[in-house]
């Protein structure tokens, strides 16, 4: 596995996303066994960074993740757990309450990383970070970050945070370069902020690309693995793919071992 080290913390280049664990926007208990099986296999394969959010399955994703981790017997300190606060809960007291509820659902005493899931148009970042700064001071969260923020909002967040912004989690893949075009990637790289790519495979939209296929074949890899390898070849970029299929989970982890040449990276850059 490849890692990024930031502010004394090491985090894997490839983690595990939990959107659709336990349901979609609402909890669906009929999916529990399938979701738990997927989480268990991910833990057994060696995933250590898990990304979740209070809105995923209305908090049920956090519950299932906490259950799978407790069953695994893996020491808490060996894992890196991220969760996110919903934009409806960005007022000072709501942030504190939302964090406590996430911790309760996860069965944990602290989060390694807590993100603002989406920016709010009605609640000031100053009010939100007053709560996040307090949670850092109390040790309830170790690092703070944001998601779906543009450069202007990132700059505001940095000004309001008492600790370094750890990441901006955004959609980024071979097929989606919107946060490259708007300057977020270069801003993060210049300011020592991780860019966490969600939807990093983009449901295989570029699977039919002959360029992608030929590069994948040269490495004995799949197109999906090669797309992930391209992402994490970039400094300060990590990715959180999600799959409930143990075979695909193992392939995603193995993508970290693919060493693309400079020429291959340039050819993949040109697919935008």
Q: Which residues are catalytic?
A: 56
Is the distance from CB of 164 to CB of 150 less than 8 angstroms?
no
Burial class (CB in 10 A: 0-12, 13-18, 19+), 30: exposed
What does the alpha-carbon distance between residue 49 and residue 3 come to, in Å, rounded to a whole number?
Answer: 11
Q: Is 86 left (phi over 0), alpha (psi -120 to 50) or beta?
A: beta
C-alpha R_g of the chain: 18
* Inter-residue contact 131 to 162 (CB < 8 Å): no
Q: Measured between alpha carbons, how far apart are the two ends of the chain, in Å?
A: 27
DSSP 85: E
Gap between the Cα atoms of 23 and 270, Å rounded: 36
What does each C-alpha distance from 272 to 76, 175, 231, 269 come to in angstroms?
A: 40, 6, 13, 6
Question: In whole angstroms, how far apart are CA 178 and each of 56, 84, 120, 152?
Answer: 24, 22, 20, 15
For residues 111 and 143, the answer to whether their CB atoms sit within 8 Å is no
């Amino acid at each position: 596995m490849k890692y990024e080290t930031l502010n004394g913390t090491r985090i894997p280049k490839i983690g595990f996303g939990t959107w659709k664990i336990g349901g979609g926007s609402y909890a669906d208990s009929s999916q529990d066994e399938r979701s738990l099986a997927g989480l268990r296999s991910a833990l057994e394969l060696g995933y250590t960074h898990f990304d979740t959010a209070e809105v995923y399955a209305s908090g049920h994703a956090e519950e299932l993740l906490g259950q799978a981790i407790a069953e695994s017997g893996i020491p808490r300190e060996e894992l890196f757990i991220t969760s996110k606060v919903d934009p409806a809960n960005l007022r000072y007291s709501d942030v504190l309450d939302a964090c406590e509820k996430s911790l309760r659902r996860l069965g944990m005493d602290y989060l390694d990383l807590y993100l603002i899931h989406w920016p709010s148009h009605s609640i000031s970042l100053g009010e939100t970070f007053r709560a996040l700064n307090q949670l850092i001071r109390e040790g309830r969260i170790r690092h703070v970050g944001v998601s779906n923020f543009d450069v202007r909002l990132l700059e505001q967040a940095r000004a309001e945070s008492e600790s370094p912004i750890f990441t901006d989690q955004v959609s980024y893949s071979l097929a989606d370069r919107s946060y490259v075009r708007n300057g977020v990637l270069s801003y993060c790289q210049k300011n020592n902020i991780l860019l966490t790519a969600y939807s990093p495979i983009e449901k295989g939209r570029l699977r039919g690309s002959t360029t992608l296929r030929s590069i994948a074949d040269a490495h004995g890899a799949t197109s999906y693995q090669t797309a992930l390898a391209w992402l994490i070849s970039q400094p300060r970029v990590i990715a959180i793919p999600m799959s409930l299929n143990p075979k695909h989970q193992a392939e995603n982890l193995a993508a970290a071992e693919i060493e693309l040449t400079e020429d291959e990276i340039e050819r993949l850059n040109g697919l935008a």
